[in-house]
Structure 1
Amino acid sequence: MSAVPTRSVWTPGQVGRVAEPVLEIKNLSVDYGFDANPTHVLRDVSLTLNRGEVLGLAGESGCGKSTLAYAATRLLPPPGMITGGEVIFTDRSGDQVDVLSQSDQDLRASRWQDMAIVFQGAMNSLNPVHRVGRQISDALLAHLPNMTKKQAMERSADLLDMVGISPDRLRSYPHQLSGGMRQRVMIAMALALDPQVLIMDEPTTALDVVMQRQIVEQIAELRDRLGFSVIFITHDVSLLIEIADRIAIMYAGEIVEEAAAQDVYRRPRHPYSDALLHSFPPLRGPRRELGGIPGSPPDLANRPTGCPFRDRCAHVFDACATVHPELVTPAVPGDDPRRQVACLRHDPARVAAGGYEPVSVPLELSIR
Structure 2
Amino acid sequence: MTPVLEIRDLSVDYGQGEGAVHAVSSVNLVLNRGEVLGLAGESGSGKSTLAYAMTRLLPPPGLITGGEVLHHGRDKPEPVDVLGLTPKQLRSFRWNDIAIVFQGAMNSLNPVSTVAAQLEDIYRAHRPEMSRAQRTKRSAELLRLVGISADRLGSYPHQLSGGMRQRVMIAMALALDPEIIIMDEPTTALDVVMQRQILEQMMRLREELGFSVLFITHDISLLVEFSDRIAIMYAGRIVEQAASEDMYRASSHPYSKGLLGSFPALHGPRRPLTGIPGSPPDMRTVPSGCPFHPRCPSAFDVCEREIPVLEKLSGANGDSSRSVACWLNTPSLSGHPGVGAT
User: Is TM-score (shorter-chain normalized) higher than 0.5?
Assistant: yes
Partner residue of 2:67? 85
Unaligned runs of 5+ in 2: none
Counterpart for residue 27 of structure 1: 9
Q: Counterpart of 1:156?
A: 139
What is the correspondence of 1:1-368 to structure 2 with a 5 Å cutoff? 19-93=1-75, 94-330=77-313, 333-334=316-317, 336-351=319-334, 354-355=335-336, 359=340
| Per-residue deviation, 1:356 | 6.1
Q: Distance in 2 between matches of 1:357 and 1:61?
A: 30
CA distance in 1, matches of 2:114, 2:255: 44
Give per-residue Cα distances to partners, 1:23-81, cap 9 Å, x unaligned: 00000000001343200010000100000000000000000000000000000000111
When structure 1 is superposed on structure 2, of 341-350 and 183-192 the one drifting more is: 341-350
Distance in 1 between residues matched to 2:314 and 2:337, nearest whole Å = 11
- Measure, in 2, the Cα distance between the counterparts of 1:72 and 1:64: 12
1:349, CA displacement in angstroms?
3.3
Alignment check: 8 A CA contact 1:31 1:41 kept: yes
1:331–1:358 Cα contact (<8 Å) kept = no
- Counterpart amino acid of residue 42 in structure 2: E
Match of 1:14 in 2: none
- Counterparts of 2:198 and 2:328 in 1: how far apart (Å)? 38
SS in 1 for 2:19: coil
How far apart are residue 120 of structure 1 and its match? 1.2
| Residues 332, 358 of structure 1: 8 Å contact kept | no
* Alpha-carbon offset, residue 292 of structure 1: 2.2
What CA distance in whole angstroms lies between the structure 2 residues aligned with 1:330 and 1:51? 23
Aligned residues: 341
Aligned to 1:8: none
Partner-residue secondary structure (3-state), 2:240: strand
TM-superposition CA deviations, 1:66-97 (whole Å, max 9, x none) = 00000000000001110000000011124311
Indicate conservation of the 8 Å contact 2:181/2:214, yes or no: yes
Q: Report how far residue 271 of structure 1 moved.
A: 0.5
**Unaligned residue ranges in structure 1 (runs of 5+):** 1-18
Q: Secondary structure at the match of 2:258?
A: helix
Residues 252 and 298 in structure 1, CA contact (< 8 A), matched pair in contact too: yes
Distance 1:227 1:357, change over 3 A: farther
Amino acid corresponding to residue 57 of structure 1 in structure 2: L
Query: What letter corresponds to residue 333 of structure 2 in structure 1?
Result: R
Contact 1:67 1:76 in 2 (8 A): yes
Deviations 1:189-233 (A, max 9, x none): 000000000000001111011101101101110000000000000
2:19 and 2:191 map into 1 onto residues whose CA distance is 41
Q: AA paired with 2:332?
A: A
For residues 280 and 164 of structure 1, the distance between their equivalents in structure 2, rounded to whole angstroms, comes to: 30
**TM-score, structure 1 normalization:** 0.90
Alignment RMSD = 1.5
In the TM superposition, what is the alpha-carbon distance from 1:329 to its structure 2 partner? 2.1
Measured at CA, do residues 334 and 347 of structure 1 come closer, stay the same or move farther in structure 2, by a change above 3 Å?
farther
Relative to structure 1, is the Cα distance of residues 226 and 331 closer, same or farther in structure 2, using a 3 angstrom cutoff?
A: closer
Deviations 1:262-293 (A, max 9, x none): 01100010010011011111000001111221
- SS of the residue aligned with 1:324? coil
Contact 1:331 1:346 (C-alpha < 8 Å) held by counterparts: no
Q: Which moved more, 1:20-29 or 1:340-349?
A: 340-349
Deviates more, 1:326-335 or 1:120-129: 326-335
SS at match of 1:106: helix
Give the AA of the match of 2:19: N
Structure 2 distance, partners of 1:226, 1:82, is 32
Q: Which whole-Å deviations, capped at 9, do the CAs of 1:100-137 have from their partners, x for residues lacking one?
A: 00000000011100000111100000000000111011
Question: Which letter maps to 1:232?
Answer: F
SS of the aligned residue for 1:112 comes to helix
Which stretch shifts more, 325-334 or 110-119? Answer: 325-334
The DSSP-based 3-state class of the residue aligned with 2:311 is: coil
Equivalent residue letter for 1:320 = C
| Contact 1:54/1:244 (8 A) holds in 2 | yes
